[in-house]
Structure 1
Amino acid sequence: METSDTTPDTAAAADDDSSGETGGIAAQDWAEASADPQYRAAVVDLLGALAYGELAAFERLAEDAKLAPSLADKAQLASMASAEFQHFDRLRERLADIDEDPTEAMRPFAKPLDEFHRQTAPSDWLEGLIKAYVGDSIASDFYREVAVRLDSDTRALVLGVLDDTGHSSFAVEKVRAAIEADPRVGGRLALWARRLMGEALSQAQRVVADRDALSTMLVGGVADGFDLAEVGRMFSRITEAHTKRMAALGLAA
């Protein structure tokens, strides 16, 4: 999973703002926090969703490499795909370490994520870059927002697998160069990015709504979860970060 390294990470800023104020679960380690069965179920859901997202990212980058216009670009995407699979492996190992079946943890999220990727299949190289940059960044912002409410062990793992794989700067460089070469490309890509934003947020909301433990954690039913007003502010921050990424690409949000 990659995030933009060219714009301020508003979700990371939320982490900084909240770290000094959040007690409870966020001040505990996994051994202590997991005594709450509802919290444990929420974390298993979170790790399952993130693990399948990383696996899907690996598959997508490997597929996108086929559209690469040069051998160097193909090799760069292959390297990024490898990094995504390493992230997946870490999550799979963690689920096994806490006596959860990784496949079963991922299963509820496979269909909605596969459907998202089916509905947003890129038609060319540039659309693939935009999708990776925009879609993964939105997901990463969401997980970073949630991470500040997790126990210390789970938080460290989640933030670790959200490290940038280099796709952000690579996508920005390639897309900006394409727009400079042919400004007409910008309009099409801006529309594509807006569609991705809408689809990504809709899928995220549907997934959360379908998983009781996860949704309860987000709206305040588990320990330090967000209240409904904070959920609204969270999605506002994610939308603002998306607007900044579009500016970095030279596109209108």
Structure 2
Amino acid sequence: MSAAPAPESAVVDLLGLVALGELLAFDRMAADARLAPDLRRRAELSAMAAAEMVNYRRLADRLTELGASPDHAMAPYLAALQAYHDSTEPKDWLEAVTKAYVGDAIADDFIREIAEALAEPDRQLVLDVLHESRYADFAAAEIRAAIEADPRVANRLSMWARRLVGEGLSQAGRAAAADRGALTALIGRGEEGDAQPLFRRLTDAHTERMGAVGLNN
């Protein structure tokens, strides 16, 4: 027997969380693009930022269709997500692309997992706005090239990536529990109310991702 569809309150909560993530990602990527060592790479990251705003608009429009205010749906998560970005502001280009590769990917994994409980069209909308693989490929190529040019870079970026995932998981938990009972219940669906298996899967995927670019966990 298939699971009952998620309640509308949980759908609104999740769409609000994802919409805010897209909005803040735009702010961050647009700023990080200025760290690029050349115009080609600056343009690449700027294109990523532009895509975030397109995604934000789709989510905001859907929230409006559901009779919800996008501002109100996003507000409960602002403190946690802003704290993550404030505490993980990159100091240079390599930290910026590592954040794009590691931080965005683990956020996408988190959203992808809990979106499975949604009915259409909201499930597909959420999956559609997750980051395209070409952006991860771009960031991965930058990291690999930097390590090949100077193997010592791997240690620094590995430490940075560990910090990103630690902050990301911590803030994801805070955002999900930000006085939003419906979303918290959505996260626990399929896990008998226990979110720990979900976070273990996120950590395992992160470990595999690190190894793929030559970083250690």
Is 1:23 the counterpart of 2:6? The answer is no
Instruction: Work out whether residues 49 and 109 of structure 1, in 8 Å CA contact, stay in contact via their aligned partners in 2.
Output: yes
Structure 2's unaligned 5+ residue stretches are none
Q: What letter matches 1:86 in structure 2?
A: V
Counterpart of 2:84? 116
Moved more, 115-124 or 165-174: 165-174
Is 1:159 the counterpart of 2:139? The answer is no
Counterpart of 1:36? none
Counterpart of 1:239? 203
Counterpart of 1:218? 187
Counterpart of 2:117? 149
C-alpha deviations, 1:171-230, integer Å up to 9, x for none? 11111101111111110100000011111001111122222121122234xxxx54234x
State the TM-score, normalizing by the size of structure 1. 0.82
Instruction: Work out whether residues 84 and 165 of structure 1, in 8 Å CA contact, stay in contact via their aligned partners in 2.
Output: no
Q: 1: CA distance between counterparts of 2:192 and 2:160?
A: 32
How far 1:99 sits from its partner (Å)? 1.1
C-alpha deviations, 1:26-83, integer Å up to 9, x for none? xxxxxxx6xxxxx211111111110010011111111011000001001111111111
Instruction: Work out whether residues 191 and 197 of structure 2, in 8 Å CA contact, stay in contact via their aligned partners in 1.
Output: no
Q: 2: CA distance between counterparts of 1:113 and 1:44?
A: 17
The runs of 4+ residues in structure 1 deviating greater than 6 Å are none
SS of the equivalent of 1:132 reads helix
Is 1:67 the counterpart of 2:35? The answer is yes
Counterpart of 1:9? none
Counterpart of 1:193? 161
For these two proteins, the number of residue pairs brought into alignment is 216
Structure 1's unaligned 5+ residue stretches are 1-20, 26-32, 34-38
Instruction: Work out whether residues 110 and 202 of structure 2, in 8 Å CA contact, stay in contact via their aligned partners in 1.
Output: yes
SS of the equivalent of 1:137 reads helix
How far 1:165 sits from its partner (Å)? 6.1
Instruction: Report the RMSD for the aligned CA atoms in angstroms.
Output: 1.4
How far 1:235 sits from its partner (Å)? 1.2
Counterpart of 1:134? 102
Instruction: Work out whether residues 108 and 131 of structure 2, in 8 Å CA contact, stay in contact via their aligned partners in 1.
Output: no
Select 2:18's aligned residue among 26, 50, 56: 50
Q: 1: CA distance between counterparts of 2:19 and 2:192?
A: 26
